Amino acid sequence: MTEAVEYDVVVLGGGPAGENLVDRARAAGLSTALVESELIGGECSYWACVPSKALLRPALARADARRVPGLAAAVQGPLDREAVFAHRDYWTGDWKDDGQVDWLDSVGAHVYRGHGRLYGVRKVAVGSPEGEHHVLAARHAVVVATGSRAVVPDLPGITGARPWTSREATSARYVPPRLLIVGGSVVAAEMATAWQALGSRVTMLVRGGGLLPRMEPFAGELVAETLREAGAVVRTGVSVEAVVRDGATGPVTVVLEGGETLEGDELLIATGRSPRTEDIGLETVGLKPGDWIEVDDSLRSTTHDWLYAIGDVNHRALLTHQVKYQARIAGAAIAARAAGTPAVEGVRWGAHTATADTEAVPQVVFTDPEAAAVGPTLAAAERAGHRVRAVDYDLSKVSGAGLYADGYRGHARMLVDLDRGVLLGATFVGPGAAELLHAATVAVTGEVPVERLWHAVPSFPTISEVWLRLLETYRDGS
């Protein structure tokens, strides 16, 4: 049997969660090994956040410019597809992770390339592509940070149809003339925005009643309206029953419930994510392969005191900024426990306890228009038993919005917890609305009394003036 190599911490997965955990562990003086079977940097760097935003930025900039007098006539032409793809490729490092590896080397982490699996208590076995085998033993913690993957439903014909998932949608090197998208959540809406702008004729097939179902209904409604104006077809309340592909490179046909068929050149499935835990040895420690890993607020397993799970695998918040936050929390908790600091066992002990990934989760959807939200929706808050008041304001009535773009359309909502007199959540949708979100996140996380928010005076003329209008609406009871 291969002799085990010992480290203080072994991290399984080299995406943003794993990288940030390594950084925190090394800063605390703990020896650390990281195991990764693909590219260091993970899904976000190569197939999700970074390439998708690189594709979306030209689309959104052009949309904004077309609403500005004196500039609109100059930007009516098509996007330079090759330049957009080159911009995307630059930001993904052409799908090479040399820079990420160099950084890990600079902080003194040991990188093991290959497939890693739990190998019993505090051990990880690694099989490299070259056939080498290593066993790593952790003195203090094994951290699972293997992320998630796109779910492809088991539809008749789906395997032979070779559908796109988020990976293919963000890395494709040609523009399909007709793109069918199944789904209505963030990936579906963002990719519809990007590929419609690049020249595809997009058709969205949404089983539910609208886009962006985890946000306030008005956000998805405005995004759908703008997509339709751009030429996309958005159909809600429809269900795909089967898929057929004509040969190796021919068109793909989807069969809807009721027998209607639609044809496209590519099919993107964007219907959810599942944890990448089906083949990482969970069964060797009594956990079920393929499941999400349940953790406490220090991101430690609820069943094993040496096992941590950060990022998508714990299902708390599948967002890159939140998984980095979790990595910082878990790193601090591991370091404190390794040093024998008893205060880390407190229920809510400062830097060692995660709360922002459950109580005040901010998210931006980079569609046209942008949609941004923190905290629960009105419906979710009421289901949770909060006594809340929704305060709404038409963003187009704010001076800064009118100066930002002609014909500006947008909406803002803040939720006031009537028992505590603080903000519980906020949602903004409109061009440039993403930049409103962090102020809301600070107010929600800091539980700033509404009375104090009156003294946070927004600059004129900015879209942030909506904060004053929301507070006036709340005061006036309208």
Could you write out the DSSP letters of every residue in 257-291? TTS-EEEESEEEE-S-EEES-TTS-GGGGT--TTS
Could you write out the DSSP letters of every residue in 48-76? SHHHHHHHHHHHHHHHHHTTSTTTGGGG-
Same domain, 106 and 225: no
- Give the number of other CB atoms < 10 A from CB of residue 177: 12
Please determine, for residue 354, whether its predicted confidence score (pLDDT) is greater than 80: no
User: Is residue 349 very low, low, confident or very high in pLDDT (cuts 50, 70, 90)?
Assistant: very low
- Distance from chain centroid for Cα 3: 39
Measured between its terminal Cα atoms, the distance across the chain in Å is 73
Could you read off the pLDDT of 10-57 as tens digits, one per residue?
Answer: 999 999 999 999 999 999 999 999 999 999 999 999 999 999 999 999
Same domain, 181 and 239: yes
Is residue 153 within 8 A of residue 133, CB to CB? The reply is no
Confirm whether residue 52 is marked as ligand binding.
Answer: no
Confirm whether residue 357 is marked as ligand binding.
Answer: no
Same domain, 375 and 338: no
Please determine, for residue 109, whether its predicted confidence score (pLDDT) is greater than 60: yes
Confirm whether residue 324 is marked as ligand binding.
Answer: no
Please determine, for residue 80, whether its predicted confidence score (pLDDT) is greater than 70: yes
Could you write out the DSSP letters of every residue in 296-361? -TTSBBSS-TTEEE-GGGG-S---HHHHHHHHHHHHHHHHHHHTT-GGGGSTT-GGG---HHHHS-
Same domain, 204 and 241: yes
Instruction: Report the number of distinct structural domains present in the chain.
Output: 3
Confirm whether residue 446 is marked as ligand binding.
Answer: no
Domain closes at, from 271, 304, 325 = 271
> Which pair of tokens denotes residue 456?
């946070």
Domain closes at, from 271, 302, 319 = 271
Confirm whether residue 124 is marked as ligand binding.
Answer: no
Determine the pLDDT at residue 434: 95
- Is residue 228 one of the residues assigned to a domain? yes
Could you read off the pLDDT of 393-422 as tens digits, one per residue?
Answer: 999 999 999 999 999 999 999 999 999 999
Same domain, 245 and 122: no
* Cα separation, 109 vs 25, whole angstroms: 9
Confirm whether residue 151 is marked as ligand binding.
Answer: no
Confirm whether residue 260 is marked as ligand binding.
Answer: no
Confirm whether residue 346 is marked as ligand binding.
Answer: no
Confirm whether residue 189 is marked as ligand binding.
Answer: yes
The whole domain housing 186 covers 158-271
- Is residue 227 one of the residues assigned to a domain? yes
Confirm whether residue 187 is marked as ligand binding.
Answer: yes
Phi, psi of 319 (to 5 degrees): -140, 140
- Is residue 364 one of the residues assigned to a domain? no
Same domain, 28 and 138: yes
User: Once rounded to an integer, what is the mean pLDDT over residues 250-275?
Assistant: 96
Determine the pLDDT at residue 355: 75
- Is residue 88 one of the residues assigned to a domain? no
Please determine, for residue 129, whether its predicted confidence score (pLDDT) is greater than 60: yes
Same domain, 432 and 453: yes
Question: What CATH number did the domain enclosing 419 receive?
Answer: 3.30.390.30
- Is residue 296 one of the residues assigned to a domain? yes
Please determine, for residue 188, whether its predicted confidence score (pLDDT) is greater than 90: yes
Is residue 165 within 8 A of residue 269, CB to CB? The reply is yes
Determine the pLDDT at residue 3: 86
Sign of CA dihedral 34, 37, 40, 43: negative
Please determine, for residue 348, whether its predicted confidence score (pLDDT) is greater than 60: no
What percent of the chain has pLDDT above 70?
Answer: 97
User: Once rounded to an integer, what is the mean pLDDT over residues 430-439?
Assistant: 96
Domain closes at, from 271, 295, 317 = 271
Question: What CATH number did the domain enclosing 204 receive?
Answer: 3.50.50.60
Same domain, 101 and 30: yes
Three-state DSSP class for residue 245 = strand
Same domain, 338 and 287: yes
Confirm whether residue 106 is marked as ligand binding.
Answer: no
* Cα separation, 140 vs 225, whole angstroms: 52
Confirm whether residue 108 is marked as ligand binding.
Answer: no
Closest CA to 20 of 423, 444, 361, 334: 334
Same domain, 142 and 12: yes
- Is residue 464 one of the residues assigned to a domain? yes
Three-state DSSP class for residue 8 = strand
User: Is residue 347 very low, low, confident or very high in pLDDT (cuts 50, 70, 90)?
Assistant: very low
Confirm whether residue 183 is marked as ligand binding.
Answer: yes
The helix (run of H) or strand (run of E) holding residue 25 is: helix 16-27
Confirm whether residue 186 is marked as ligand binding.
Answer: yes
- Is residue 89 one of the residues assigned to a domain? no
Q: Which residue has the higher pLDDT, 448 or 359?
A: 448
* Cα separation, 287 vs 278, whole angstroms: 11
User: Is residue 322 very low, low, confident or very high in pLDDT (cuts 50, 70, 90)?
Assistant: very high
- Is residue 120 one of the residues assigned to a domain? yes
Same domain, 143 and 10: yes
Same domain, 124 and 139: yes
